[in-house]
Structure 1
């Protein structure tokens, strides 16, 4: 039976705060924590981990973890530029959006399962080929498992390159196929690459979902 992912002890309670706080209370509650002793980085990490674990990607690109993750790079830089308590505002907004998506009936209930890495005969090249093959068929659960194997063996940029190999051909349909993985990787530069095995799963699942056939002529 599948179980939800459980995060490291130092961040799990803050993740549960983002998940469990009632939407009508989350703005004030996030402000109070930031005004006390919770760092911006910890709050944004908790927001990212919460929305990945407890919010599903609906059809299209509005909802789930997409915008909370893709916007995190900008949020942390805006927060760094704002003076005093104004610096809390973009962080609180990110937490509130993540919390809203977690509690939305259109995006949940959802649980990110504690999936295990899967390889093809413990071969890096074989697993990359299996990842590409599964992605071409839209088998996102298989890609999820292959990603967990590959992310332990490739550098961040190597892994992003393979994800974009899947995403770029679909970008003519929706520019989020490029934006979501790229800006999630920018967020991971800040949060720490060790969280890619959780956070990185969302854009991988997004870019490997089946799409309708399209051509540049259709877009034009």
Structure 2
């Protein structure tokens, strides 16, 4: 499937008047005025005909190809200005989002891991979620950040060989009546070439939900790439929901390629590998489930008991425990609450990259769980989510110190009944973040326990990401954690958000320089 090409790099010429872009952050209010308005001068348009696309590369439809080419060929220092000019000329939010995703899947290889430079693709939906949750005046900011971030990933890919997603081999695409089965057969064999052709045929003949179910089935199959496979399934489909299913084929070909990544290992279908042991247990446990599996009763004691299990169980033991709880009459939400709490607790215990992915993977797996239609696929996703958490816990041990803090030990006994000004208290929370994470978590929990509005914390955190975020993980994590607050049961959601503050940005963090970078791009 992979093809390497060396594309001509088109340099944009012309002058750009320097204009203001973002306002200053001032005062103690949670609402940070990040931008007043977008004032763009003139910039020469870039014709797609002026750059040469490799003959073997996948091509997109006529209405989006020129915009993708603009992103690919415009130098990084001018890409924000170039897209600002297009937006002023009528290019829509959806078109820019589509160009971001498609440029990523054509130009960035999801190997040797579905992470690293490939975050330029994974982060598109996170930037989109941040935009949806922002006031109108800030809505473009995450997208401009993602445009700039793509250029850095594109450069890294060029330096590593300049991989390009090639056009599908049409002679290998199965006929419509065989496409779905051909796809599943190829995925089960870990056959990259056959799966690439099969998914193209599958997308052309089946509906979006049916295809999503198939890919969700494989996205949770294994822990390789620390959860990025599941993240790509969820984030890819969520972005397609916004930009349109007509762009699905190249995206899902890239996704299929990513799902089959087993770098440095023999073919998993012919080997007994540790990464595949949990799915074997999961398959055994769901074999005899019936339609009444989700009719149990919520039980907070069961949630806390399962949380303790996640602190010490193996992946296979975690699968069996979740299975047993639901067979005993516990509602799935009680097990889901334990998964969210376990992920947030790992963030508290080691606020770093591995624990971060326990939260973003759980977000992705739970999105898929809520979206697919088959009971068996839903159970598979739930049990594999349980299996992933011990994998993350053990992976953390090789990354340094892991504290023994427990999320269920947070308490609100010292909470004041008189919070005073809400914005001041939220300001105090984010003054602590980055300097004293434990105190920030305690302050968050106390604030929420006396009915401080969670929306104020969420809004402040999101806008601080715009101002302080330096990495794709800042967007991925914050979008996942802030969204998942509402997916946790009311009894536990305050603990979840308090734990999540360990990896949110704070006022004391260094600014990311976005203001200056944008102004330089517009000069």
TM-score by length of 1: 0.84
The structure having more radius of gyration, on CA atoms, is 2
Q: Return 5+ residue gaps in structure 2 as ranges.
A: 1-53, 266-272, 279-313, 316-390, 395-523
The answer to whether the aligner puts 1:20 opposite 2:41 as a matched pair is no
The alignment covers a number of residue pairs equal to 217
Separation of aligned partners in 2, 1:21 and 1:187: 23
Matching of residues 1-220 of structure 1 within 5 Å:
3-64=56-117, 66-104=118-156, 105-117=158-170, 118-120=172-174, 122=175, 124=177, 126-171=178-223, 174-210=226-262, 212=265, 213-214=273-274, 215-216=277-278, 217=314, 219=391, 220=394
Deviations 1:141-196 (A, max 9, x none): 22110001111121111111212222222147621121111221111111111111
Deviations 1:85-106 (A, max 9, x none): 4222111112122222222235
Distance change >3 Å, CA 77–CA 127, structure 1 → 2: closer
Structure with more relative contact order (C-alpha pairs < 8 Å, separation 6 or more)? 1
RMSD value over aligned CA atoms? 2.6
Separation of aligned partners in 2, 1:153 and 1:14: 27
State the 4+ residue runs in structure 1 displaced beyond 6 angstroms: none
Distance change >3 Å, CA 107–CA 42, structure 1 → 2: farther
TM-score by length of 2: 0.38
Distance change >3 Å, CA 185–CA 112, structure 1 → 2: same
1:36 Cα deviation from its structure 2 partner: 4.2
- SS of 1:205's equivalent in the other structure is helix
Residues 48 and 98, structure 1, Cα contact 8 Å, conserved in 2: no
